[in-house]
Amino acid sequence: MNPNPLISICIPIYNAVEFIEETIDCFINQTYQNWELILQDDCSTDSTWELLNEKYDHNPKIKIYQNNINLGIGKNWNQAYDKATGEYVVIFNADDLVVDDFLARGISYLNKYENIDFVINSFLKSNEVKTAELEATIHAYQSITQDLINIKQRPFYRFSWNYTLAKKTSLDSLKNEFGLFYPTQVCDAMLWYEAYRHDLTAYYTGEIIGTYRMHENNNSKIPLGEFESTLLWLIPKYAELFKLKIKAKWHSGIILLIKYIYACLKHKKAPKIHAVRNIIKYV
């Protein structure tokens, strides 16, 4: 095994001028230094592109790219991933943070457990509120702390690709007709479902190694974004898994349909026929 493998850090970016410097600095300051940083800008409308060129164009380890047109989340993530040349890959958000030995820790576990596909870590949120839901999630994480896990056995834990170090060959095995990611806002969740389908294995460290920043420009804050993307993409693709996740009963589809109609009314948007059809057909 190569004791000093190259790690590709792929950061898809859109309008991240407020955060991107700190995020990039997290990787520049890593104790493990054999990395390449791939920055893929999706036609930002703020000054992100200008900042990237001004600050990082001189660094040979940092590669800066911009799309000709705005592609959207999944397609832009594929643009970044397809440029990775490392043996291992990190897919990271443009506004989050990691500790300076994140890469070193991941490599140590991959060296120790040669047959695993991923090393998964935990994280905190920057405006953490200790809700009952969050406490339940933390408890679930702790129950598998420092454990070899089969993704097929635990498909619904809130793992994040952000804080995961993956073998590139394992990620390549998950590619679909669009690339690694589907062209939808829930492309990261769908990739975990693909890992489930392919029976991949990970080591969950239980270590909190980063911060997920909560702010008004998070992709999850796009009105109806993740909800509608789930209805249009995730449910028809993984209907059986989705039913298992929500422990579907006869009335689950009705409840989901009511929630969708209410969300559309709240945001003054017309419901999409395909989304309604998928609820009726698959849930």
Percent of the chain with pLDDT over 70: 83
CATH 3.90.550.10-classified regions of the chain: 7-215
Domain covering 7-215: architecture: Alpha-Beta Complex (3.90)
Q: Which of 276, 182, 162, 181 is nearest to 227 (CA)?
A: 276
Spacing of C-alpha 189 from chain mean position: 7
Which residue in this structure is represented by tokens 């009105």? Answer: 223
The chain-wide mean pLDDT, for the chain, equals 86
Give the angle 37-42-45 at the CA atoms, nearest 5°: 120
pLDDT tens-digit map of 239-248: 887 776 666 6
Which residue in this structure is represented by tokens 């769908």? Answer: 190
Tell me what the mean pLDDT of segment 164-193 comes to.
95
Q: Which of 201, 203, 177, 174 is nearest to 189 (CA)?
A: 174
- CA-CA distance, 253 to 114, in Å (whole number)? 43
- CA-CA distance, 228 to 204, in Å (whole number)? 30
Cα distances from 213 to residues 95, 192, 227, in angstroms, run 7, 21, 20
Model pLDDT, residue 220: 63
Model pLDDT, residue 20: 96
pLDDT above 60 (res 264): yes
